[in-house]
Amino acid sequence: MSLLLTQSVNLLGALLLLLAFAMISQRRILSLIHLFTLQGAALVVATATVGYVTQQPHLYLSAAITFVLKVLLIPYLLHRVIERLDVRWDVETLINIPTTMLIGILLVIFAFNLALPIAQLSSSIARGSLGIALACVLLSFLMMITRSKAVPQVIGFLSMENGLFFAATAATYGMPMVVELGIALDVLIGVLILGVFMFQIREQFDSLDIHHLERLKDV
């Protein structure tokens, strides 16, 4: 039974990785939000599964907080933002999608090779999850640096935090609850601040392209 649950954690980690790949190849902001919501749901199930296997009750609370924050509240706020800004359709990319996917594959290979020596020393239930988590973080970072619009960059930042949270949950059975609550609050405040930031960019430049901010250098 424990082996089955361990394999389930690895399977959910693989799902997180596939969703990260889907996000870097997605051109529509609305679809990006849906993929982020699915990633949050997979993270909730993975956290609850680790809590069941390791008999760590605080992980159930972590799963509940993640569900409220990553599956309900933040996607709702992002939907409100794109409705107000009317930017729910095509996303411009700095690098074409096939090249981005190729770079993503190379980053995954790099992440697994980097995490392999550490994973071999681990005694956690899902040693392979460290490579998956690192790959998710790198793919999210890739999405942030290859998008010229502010909204996809915010989603990339949130997806990166998902990867870090999965690493902490699967590799070390979660962080102290005070730390988790602090991170959750920081993420929520960060989303609210970035929402205000995006409204200001739109008001000043009638666009969410962050390259317009270069005009402020001479001001």
pLDDT, greater one: 195 or 55: 55
pLDDT on residue 1: 46
Q: 164 near 39, Cβ under 8 Å? A: no
* pTM, rounded to two decimals: 0.78
pLDDT > 90? residue 83: no
pLDDT on residue 138: 92
pLDDT on residue 130: 81
> Rounded CA gap, 51 and 105, in Å?
31
72-79 LR contacts (CB < 8 Å, sep 24+): 73/188, 74/36, 74/40, 74/158, 74/187, 74/188, 74/191, 75/33, 75/36, 75/37, 75/40, 77/191, 77/192, 77/195, 78/33, 78/36, 78/151, 78/154, 78/155, 78/191, 79/33
pLDDT > 60? residue 204: no
Over residues 144-148, mean pLDDT:
81
pLDDT > 90? residue 188: no
pLDDT in tens, 173-183: 655 554 555 56
pLDDT, greater one: 29 or 135: 135
pLDDT > 80? residue 13: yes
- Maximum average pLDDT range among 30-44, 48-62, 109-123: 30-44
Length of the chain: 219
Buried b (16+ CB within 10 A) or exposed e, 11-44: ebbebbbebbbbbbebeebbebbbbbbbbbbbbb
pLDDT > 60? residue 99: yes
pLDDT on residue 216: 46
Within 10 angstroms of residue 84's Cβ, the number of other Cβ atoms is 12
Question: Mean of the per-residue pLDDT values for the chain?
Answer: 76
pLDDT > 70? residue 32: yes
